Protein backbone atom coordinates (compact mmCIF):
# COMPACT_ATOMS: atom_id res chain seq x y z
CA UNK A 1 0.00 0.00 0.00
CA UNK A 2 1.22 3.49 -0.85
CA UNK A 3 0.95 6.71 1.05
CA UNK A 4 -2.53 8.13 1.57
CA UNK A 5 -3.30 11.04 -0.75
CA UNK A 6 -6.03 12.16 1.66
CA UNK A 7 -5.79 11.34 5.33
CA UNK A 8 -8.26 12.41 8.00
CA UNK A 9 -7.56 11.61 11.65
CA UNK A 10 -9.41 12.26 14.90
CA UNK A 11 -12.15 14.26 13.12
CA UNK A 12 -14.85 15.64 15.43
CA UNK A 13 -18.06 17.49 14.55
CA UNK A 14 -20.99 18.41 16.76
CA UNK A 15 -24.25 20.18 16.08
CA UNK A 16 -25.19 21.60 19.45
CA UNK A 17 -25.43 18.65 21.85
CA UNK A 18 -25.45 16.09 19.00
CA UNK A 19 -22.01 14.60 18.31
CA UNK A 20 -22.12 13.71 14.62
CA UNK A 21 -18.48 12.56 14.41
CA UNK A 22 -16.23 11.33 17.21
CA UNK A 23 -12.63 10.51 16.31
CA UNK A 24 -13.45 9.67 12.68
CA UNK A 25 -10.57 8.57 10.46
CA UNK A 26 -10.24 7.98 6.74
CA UNK A 27 -7.28 7.25 4.45
CA UNK A 28 -7.67 7.35 0.66
CA UNK A 29 -4.89 5.99 -1.53
CA UNK A 30 -4.39 6.44 -5.26
CA UNK A 31 -5.95 3.65 -7.32
CA UNK A 32 -8.28 2.42 -4.59
CA UNK A 33 -12.07 2.43 -4.65
CA UNK A 34 -13.91 3.37 -1.46
CA UNK A 35 -17.45 3.40 -0.11
CA UNK A 36 -18.84 4.89 3.08
CA UNK A 37 -21.41 2.64 4.66
CA UNK A 38 -23.22 2.92 7.94
CA UNK A 39 -26.53 3.30 9.68
CA UNK A 40 -28.72 6.37 9.43
CA UNK A 41 -27.09 9.11 11.51
CA UNK A 42 -23.65 7.48 11.52
CA UNK A 43 -21.97 10.60 10.09
CA UNK A 44 -21.39 9.63 6.45
CA UNK A 45 -22.82 12.84 5.00
CA UNK A 46 -21.13 14.95 7.66
CA UNK A 47 -17.74 13.45 6.79
CA UNK A 48 -18.31 14.07 3.07
CA UNK A 49 -19.42 17.65 3.76
CA UNK A 50 -16.15 18.22 5.63
CA UNK A 51 -14.15 16.85 2.68
CA UNK A 52 -16.21 19.06 0.33
CA UNK A 53 -15.62 22.18 2.45
CA UNK A 54 -19.33 22.61 3.20
CA UNK A 55 -18.75 22.01 6.93
CA UNK A 56 -15.71 22.66 9.13
CA UNK A 57 -14.56 20.00 11.61
CA UNK A 58 -14.51 20.95 15.29
CA UNK A 59 -11.23 19.09 15.68
CA UNK A 60 -8.83 16.70 14.02
CA UNK A 61 -6.39 16.85 11.14
CA UNK A 62 -6.73 16.63 7.37
CA UNK A 63 -3.64 15.90 5.28
CA UNK A 64 -3.42 16.12 1.50
CA UNK A 65 -0.32 14.41 0.11
CA UNK A 66 1.08 14.43 3.65
CA UNK A 67 0.63 18.19 4.20
CA UNK A 68 -1.95 19.76 6.54
CA UNK A 69 -4.83 21.50 4.76
CA UNK A 70 -7.87 23.49 5.84
CA UNK A 71 -10.79 22.99 3.48
CA UNK A 72 -12.65 26.19 4.31
CA UNK A 73 -15.14 26.19 1.42
CA UNK A 74 -16.26 24.20 -1.62
CA UNK A 75 -14.15 26.54 -3.78
CA UNK A 76 -11.05 25.67 -1.77
CA UNK A 77 -11.90 21.95 -2.05
CA UNK A 78 -12.16 22.30 -5.85
CA UNK A 79 -8.74 23.97 -6.06
CA UNK A 80 -7.09 21.21 -4.04
Domain count of the chain? Answer: 1
Q: Which residues face 28 on adjacent strands? A: 6
pLDDT reported for residue 2: 81
Q: Is residue 33 part of a domain?
A: no
What pLDDT is stored for residue 38 in this prediction?
93
Name the residue range of residue 59's domain: 4-28+39-79
Residue 47 CB coordination number (10 Å): 22
> Is residue 34 a part of any domain in this protein?
no
As a whole number of angstroms, the distance between CA 60 and CA 23 comes to 8
Q: Print pLDDT tens along the chain (80 aa).
A: 688 999 999 999 999 999 999 999 999 999 999 999 999 999 999 999 999 999 999 999 999 999 999 999 999 999 98
pLDDT on residue 80: 86
Cα separation, 25 vs 12, in Å, equals 10
Q: CA-CA distance, 80 to 38, in Å (whole number)? A: 27
Amino acid sequence: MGEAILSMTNIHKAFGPVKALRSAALDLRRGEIHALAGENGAGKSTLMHIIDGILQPDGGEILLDGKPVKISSPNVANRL
